[in-house]
Structure 1
Amino acid sequence: MHGERIRVRGLVQGVGFRPTVWRLARECGLIGDVCNDGEGVLIRARPAADIDPAAIERLCERLRTECPPLARIDAIERQPLTEPIPHSDFRIRDSQITQARTAIVADAATCPDCVREIGDPKDRRHRYAFTNCTHCGPRLSIVRGIPYDRSRTSMSVFPMCPACRAEYGDPANRRFHAQPNACPDCGPRLWLVDTQGREIDTGATGDLDAIAAASRLLHEGRILAIKGIGGFHLACDATNAEAVAELRRRKRRYAKPFALMARDLEVIERYCTVDTEAARILTTAAAPVLLLNGIEPDPGSERALADAIAPGQTSLGFMLPYSPLHHLLLEDWDRPLVMTSGNLSEEPQCIDNQDAVARLSPLADFALLHDRAILNRVDDSVVRVMAGAPRMIRRARGYAPSPIGLPPGFETAPAVLALGGELKSTFCLLRQGEAILSQHLGDLEDARTAREYERTLDLYLDLFQHRAQILAVDRHPNYRSTLIGRDRATRWQIPMVDVQHHHAHLASTLADNAWPLHGPPILGIILDGLGYGDDGTFWGGEFLIGDYRDARRAGHLKPVAMPGGTQAILEPWRNLFAQLECAGGLDAMRRRHPDLTTLDALAAQPLGVLRTMLERGINAPLSSSAGRLFDAVAAALGICGERILYEGQAAIELESLAARCLADTESGYPFQTSEGPTGIQLDAASMWPALFQDLSQGVEIARISARFHRGFAAAVVELALEIARRHQIATIALSGGVFQNRVLLESVSKDLSDAGIQVLLQRQVPSNDGGLALGQACIAAARAIRP
């Protein structure tokens, strides 16, 4: 009788795929078996003697339509079966250890069935914080190898009790081969400790258990360190102003917004606008932090959020509970908790109990610990709905390391390792038609983060048995990721490709949109903070014509000096001074507006030293950065004028202001263009007189910010359309961290679309530097593939 070997590729391990195959095969009247191996799932099947030969076809059709919730089928490959099947029924075989070519599924939020169980007093998993099944629970955070079996996870140290073993071995049970499967009798346990690491006797305190004790302490205004799935959080009552202020002081995070966690959508709706799409995103298995528009609370409400949650912003970052522990902790909370990363500002998040007690005891009053080891640190993902779709701000828990399919033309791409940039670092493994982008790993300027980056890189290389043939890095010679790449390329004796920063942004957007390798060149508008340019200056406001292999500059913002170099990134007033000097001079602007305190404050700075820097070109590198222009405008309006406290703060607060009155602001400030040797230059000089005229006339700064956004967006669109007309280009890509500004992104993309342009925006990966590694990998691969 005819039989087939059926290879299923994709996200098909640890998600209940084999029991689904087992059930469907039996229903289709097939005999054979199914197993996991390094390439995915392998099925051997043939119809029973009395069943029609179309049974295998029906099995393949039903696999696609009845795929388990967390599974993703990328390909079903069928071949004739040459060997006999040694049994007369359909079975599930043990996993086979072969070369790893399949993927690891991302950590998934608790499914409704498990939520019901932990809330049911009659269920044996009532209030058990480690309840999971094949439809939910930890994956990447606990895995150390492929195939994804219990022996290759941090659950290997917890032998299952007979009841759990029976579930694990029953193909009809939703816990069949759920690798983290456990219960209170055999699985991990929770306990509460004080700042010295001493366990609290919750029986003596009258609490039901450690989670109930933690909830009580939070109600009392205490700060807790809580061990979750991919790391520790620091938590406190988000409506307790004193607790929030104290957390900021201890964590040394004085302005950056805190993420919030709420029990359910009803609680979130008291603080934010939640439409159908927002509700869908919040309740997905990824359960990201979603940036939402805040609403004014009722005056005097006891549930009003502390003002220090998100200073200077109109949006709030909310997530729903994504583990049983979080569900149980929040079950009696009708207001949100702060749920921010468990670390000092800019350090990596703690994952180890001993390390957490040592590093977090100055930050938290108590710690809620458990004994399931976190093998891989995974931060919370952050998403924002912009231009009608969810856009990734930080890709981590719930999304990484799910592979991204490569566009047509990359089928023969060599194995590439791309190491990303310096900030918001990620790395990318390219192999066999797919890209595996790591979770967000942080800023490599921090030594701890750099060590964690290399540790995670080594784990991925081992996990996916990746042997790079080409290594790709950013062109900046001093980025730590570039230095790491240079060292490894030398040790591995493989070629290293350096990729221009903004070309990588462009290629990342192309790959995100499945633009074919041999597709026509497009125009990329890349707006960000800084990137090392082809001419040795710092770029950041670029109009590039290119594809995966090459890109050339067709236009850019007029370069302006950064007095003090990197100091200008931290002190926006320096950028304002440099901008005004290029627009006729600060002194001339002061004579025009002698009563403006903003200009007086600027004149009080040590400008003699800065003027010398500008005149002599000492420690004042030229930059076409859009980010620095936004910083300068913010400083002019008195926003973060002296110093920013986190990356992008000035621009973020500027956007929040603009959003308040954008709808009734029609006219924007003027920009001008001029032809230059490296393309058309977009010059902000003509904007400044108009902006300061509004300031001197007492126009509210929110309206001034809106006029700046309107004018800049219009100028960007006008220049882009002119370049597209000259070069007969019909498609434009938008990328770079500045395009995380919703006001700017939506304005530019709409106006370009209205002009008949196809606009490419990013969805699967961030437009900020978190997406660089994908672009680098695709560029290196494209150059290696013969045209």
Structure 2
Amino acid sequence: MDQPSLSLMPIEAHKLLIIGQVQGVGFRPFIHNLATRLNLLGSVQNLSGEVEVIIQGEVNNLYAFKQQLIDQSPAIAEPKIATSETIQNHNFTQFSILKSKENLNTEIHLPVDYFICEDCKKEITDPSNFRYQYPFTNCTQCGPRYTLIEKLPYDRVNTTMASFKLCPQCEQEYSTPTNRRFHAEPIACPSCGPQLEFRSTKLSNSDDPLTQTIQHLNAGHIIAIKGIGGYHIVCDAFNTQAIERLRKNKQRPDKPLAVMFADISNNDWSHIEQQVTLNNEIKALIKSTQRPIVLCSKSSTNTLGENIAPNLNEVGVLLPYSPLHYLLLENFKRPIVCTSGNISGEPVITDNDECEHKLAHIVDGFLHHNRPIVRPADDSVYRQIGDQIRPIRLGRGTSPLELSLPFQLTKPVIATGAQMKNNIAIGEQSRVIISPHIGELTSLSSQSVFENCIKDLSHFYHIDSKTILSDAHPAYSSYQWAKKQKLTNSSITHKTILHHHAHASALVGEYMIENKQSHNNQKWLVFCWDGVGLGDEKQLWGGETFIGKPGNWKRAYSLKTFKPLGADKAARQSWRSAAATIWQLKPNYRHKQADNFAFQAWQKNINNPATSAIGRLFDAASYLAGFENDYSYEGQGPCQFEALVNTSVAEVIDLPISNDNPKEIDWTILIEKMANMDKTAEQKATIFHQSLAQLVVNICSAEAHNRSLKIGLCGGVFQNHQLVKSIQSNLKHKPFNVFIPKILPANDAAISFGQIIEDHFA
């Protein structure tokens, strides 16, 4: 049968509304080129967070366009056709990219920051290319986004690149539909874009900032380098003296440092595999566009400075995440130690002058650039926990994290998260947006970032919430901020959510997202173990097992309480938890770090509130195993304790459980074993971990009569790989499936999301 002539092909016009990740990913240029290739006329227009497309042409080409729009979209785009309607034909003469238009009713998707793509990488390593060695090279498929956007729609004029006027060559690329920099908003080159500046009191024999930096690193110096989301402090990863000086200057004596390696070429990982053990899953994550830090086991051939991660068997590994870092590592020829450019407890520094003011006593030189950073973005961190790689911290490249709920929220909400590992979350309808990592809210600068983040995301996503959720602890900065909003605005509702209820609900919320479960009738058995959190009647919880569901949790099991001396000081001085557990067993015991005055204060309950936190029990056990120094970073003793676990040691202790309500888990026999001088530190570590793993199995078995219960693990304690691995191994042949978070961290970074879920179902 003859095909109809072209002139007889029906012509129609369709209007599409495209939602999803379509900002900052080269989507409008892609649409333009796709329509042109299919001989379609019309237009594409950015509506703040959505894209409106009008296409007119032969019907078969219209349908081909819709299919290819999804199948052939840019790798970093995630488009969805929200609506498609037939409209009246227009008198189009071409396909055009229209000027962006602000639309307050759109579903916003903020783009994250992306690593340099392969095409741009080829340019900066090609001596004949005019962008050779240019550290701010980018295109529609790579480069900074979140950290330079000042407002939407995502156009150059609304970014920190607005002050850099395009040169004729960049202007031509930006305006040419077939060029991959067509409408690449951060486009730049050596003639018109940002520039590096090296500053140091130490002399160098070069005028090139990158060359100066490398010369200083070769000399064993410490340098602050401005990246995409803030500064890093770096030095030679093979130079133990430089590392030790960095630790001394930054007052970071023990906390593990990450190591940045040169990028992967021709799939050759040998320079990294000499130092750490990798598998395909870890390689894929390390090399992803997010470029996170991934904790990897040290290899037997490791030659990195032994003081990079003292007393630990893992080291954080990352690859260059910007053209600047790529060029630095390619030319330096050795890996570098890479740690956040900040003062301990404060956010990462983003401003050149502030960096010199605050870090001058730490570093020997500064590699600045003049592209402003609108908001800080710290590195994302992942770790193998049990059978999967899971997040420890969400930051650059992974957040803002936009989650689609399988149900509708009844009102817009702001959730202010926890005091430690803080982030904030905003929710409306079926969406929750979680901010990048903010950190501890103990400093004024952190609190300022916290407040700005709430304003920032609320503005970007057009969410005006009159409901603010916070932790129930009245001393937390997030609680104080929420309370202040209520006092200054009578229309604001301030609700408090118990810390561990938020933990449990975050876990269930993630499960509901993963399984597209819109109803909340599934009952759960959730183990919620961490260091501290305010519970009912102002009790300090941290070793809880709940039965129930979001909005209706019953505390079924809890660790027997003990009273660490000095309250919050116990989180940094493990002897306080160790002494408290031993004194509870043997009142006549005298501890070498606790004088008689301390014992009397403990007896009289002076500043030693009772806690059921398994995190503090880990502190006590690690101290009794020989890790007696005060912590210089959170969880230091338990991290070093975990590193000693040897699963060939088979001794397991069944912890007694009472019939009280809640049922009480008695830890005394386990602490007695830890205090036994006949056991090695390795034996103690293994017994402790395997006994706690067995405790989880025993509780699961005790509740097995209720076969409908799903089991979940949450809280910072369950970032312990050895503990989770033992639990999963012990449950492998049992009729239980354990759910562990993998979208959000198990730690307090999940609290803001959990507050929203708990409030919704309450």
- TM-score in same-fold range (> 0.5): yes
Unaligned 5+ segments in structure 2 are: 1-10, 264-268
1:701 and 2:681 are equivalent in the alignment: yes
Counterpart of 2:438 (choices 427, 438, 441) is 441
Equivalent position of 2:241 in the other structure: 242
Distance 2:12 2:524 in 1: 50
Query: If the length of structure 2 is used for normalisation, what is the TM-score?
Result: 0.94
1:297 and 2:301 are equivalent in the alignment: yes
Q: Indicate conservation of the 8 Å contact 2:293/2:380, yes or no.
A: yes
Counterpart of 1:273 (choices 268, 277, 296) is 277
Structure 2 residue matching 1:221: 3-state secondary structure: coil
Letter of the 1:676 partner, please give it: D
Alignment of 1:13-412 (within 5 A): 13-46=23-56, 48=57, 51=58, 53-73=59-79, 75-82=80-87, 84-99=89-104, 101-195=107-201, 205-206=205-206, 209-264=208-263, 265-297=269-301, 304-406=303-405, 408-409=406-407, 411-412=408-409
Equivalent position of 1:608 in the other structure: 596
Letter of the 2:656 partner, please give it: Q
Q: Indicate conservation of the 8 Å contact 2:377/2:396, yes or no.
A: yes
Distance 2:495 2:200 in 1: 50
Equivalent position of 1:598 in the other structure: none
User: Post-superposition shift, 1:31?
Assistant: 2.3
Equivalent position of 2:571 in the other structure: 569
Distance 1:353 1:400 in 2: 24
Letter of the 1:497 partner, please give it: K
Distance 1:561 1:311 in 2: 30
User: Post-superposition shift, 1:668?
Assistant: 2.0
Distance 1:611 1:728 in 2: 47
Distance 2:729 2:45 in 1: 49
Distance 2:742 2:462 in 1: 28
Distance 1:752 1:568 in 2: 33
Distance 1:382 1:284 in 2: 13
Structure 1 residue matching 2:618: 3-state secondary structure: helix
Structure 2 residue matching 1:675: 3-state secondary structure: coil
TM-aligned CA distance change 1:57 to 1:759, over 3 Å:
farther
User: Post-superposition shift, 1:752?
Assistant: 3.4
Structure 1 residue matching 2:538: 3-state secondary structure: coil
Q: Deviations over 1:420-471 (max 9, x none)?
A: 0100110001123111101001100122211221122222222222201321
Letter of the 2:324 partner, please give it: L
Distance 2:365 2:97 in 1: 46
Equivalences, count: 741
Structure 1 residue matching 2:475: 3-state secondary structure: coil
Range that drifts further, 365-374 or 714-723: 714-723
Fraction of identical pairs, as percent? 32
Letter of the 2:622 partner, please give it: A
Distance 1:33 1:117 in 2: 31
Equivalent position of 1:634 in the other structure: 622
Structure 1 residue matching 2:315: 3-state secondary structure: strand
Equivalent position of 2:8 in the other structure: none
Letter of the 1:509 partner, please give it: L
Q: Indicate conservation of the 8 Å contact 1:35/1:93, yes or no.
A: yes
Distance 2:110 2:686 in 1: 44
1:681 and 2:693 are equivalent in the alignment: no
User: Post-superposition shift, 1:651?
Assistant: 0.9
Letter of the 2:92 partner, please give it: H
What RMSD over aligned residues (CA atoms) do the two structures have, in Å?
1.9
Structure 1 residue matching 2:282: 3-state secondary structure: helix
TM-aligned CA distance change 1:216 to 1:750, over 3 Å:
same
Distance 2:600 2:64 in 1: 77
Structure 2 residue matching 1:686: 3-state secondary structure: helix
Distance 1:675 1:216 in 2: 68
1:432 and 2:429 are equivalent in the alignment: yes
Distance 1:328 1:125 in 2: 12
Equivalent position of 1:581 in the other structure: 583
Distance 1:148 1:720 in 2: 50
Q: Deviations over 1:459-507 (max 9, x none)?
A: 2222222201321111111110011111123434221221111111111
TM-aligned CA distance change 1:645 to 1:163, over 3 Å:
same
Counterpart of 1:717 (choices 684, 688, 697) is 697
Counterpart of 1:754 (choices 719, 733, 755) is 733
Equivalent position of 1:11 in the other structure: 21
Distance 2:171 2:297 in 1: 47
Equivalent position of 2:6 in the other structure: none
Distance 2:61 2:487 in 1: 54
Equivalent position of 1:595 in the other structure: none
Distance 1:759 1:529 in 2: 22
User: Post-superposition shift, 1:399?
Assistant: 0.4
TM-aligned CA distance change 1:371 to 1:722, over 3 Å:
same
User: Post-superposition shift, 1:288?
Assistant: 0.2
1:691 and 2:671 are equivalent in the alignment: no
Counterpart of 1:473 (choices 458, 470, 473) is 470
Structure 2 residue matching 1:13: 3-state secondary structure: coil
Structure 2 residue matching 1:331: 3-state secondary structure: helix
Q: Indicate conservation of the 8 Å contact 1:262/1:337, yes or no.
A: yes
Unaligned 5+ segments in structure 1 are: 299-303, 591-601
Structure 1 residue matching 2:665: 3-state secondary structure: strand
Q: Indicate conservation of the 8 Å contact 1:508/1:776, yes or no.
A: yes
User: Post-superposition shift, 1:22?
Assistant: 2.0
Equivalent position of 2:493 in the other structure: 495
User: Post-superposition shift, 1:322?
Assistant: 0.8
Q: Deviations over 1:233-264 (max 9, x none)?
A: 11100111111010001101111011110103
Query: If the length of structure 1 is used for normalisation, what is the TM-score?
Result: 0.91
Distance 2:107 2:402 in 1: 11
Equivalent position of 1:508 in the other structure: 506
User: Post-superposition shift, 1:326?
Assistant: 0.5
Distance 2:139 2:108 in 1: 21
Counterpart of 1:621 (choices 609, 618, 625) is 609
Equivalent position of 2:532 in the other structure: 530
Q: Indicate conservation of the 8 Å contact 2:673/2:684, yes or no.
A: no
Equivalent position of 1:545 in the other structure: 547
Structure 2 residue matching 1:148: 3-state secondary structure: coil
Range that drifts further, 534-543 or 604-613: 604-613
Q: Indicate conservation of the 8 Å contact 2:12/2:89, yes or no.
A: no
Distance 1:487 1:654 in 2: 41
TM-aligned CA distance change 1:519 to 1:117, over 3 Å:
farther
Letter of the 1:252 partner, please give it: Q
Structure 1 residue matching 2:658: 3-state secondary structure: strand
User: Post-superposition shift, 1:412?
Assistant: 4.5
Alignment of 1:746-785 (within 5 A): 746-783=725-762
Structure 2 residue matching 1:14: 3-state secondary structure: coil
Range that drifts further, 53-62 or 728-737: 53-62
Q: Indicate conservation of the 8 Å contact 1:146/1:464, yes or no.
A: no
TM-aligned CA distance change 1:67 to 1:753, over 3 Å:
farther
Equivalent position of 2:653 in the other structure: 669
1:655 and 2:642 are equivalent in the alignment: yes
Q: Indicate conservation of the 8 Å contact 1:543/1:720, yes or no.
A: no
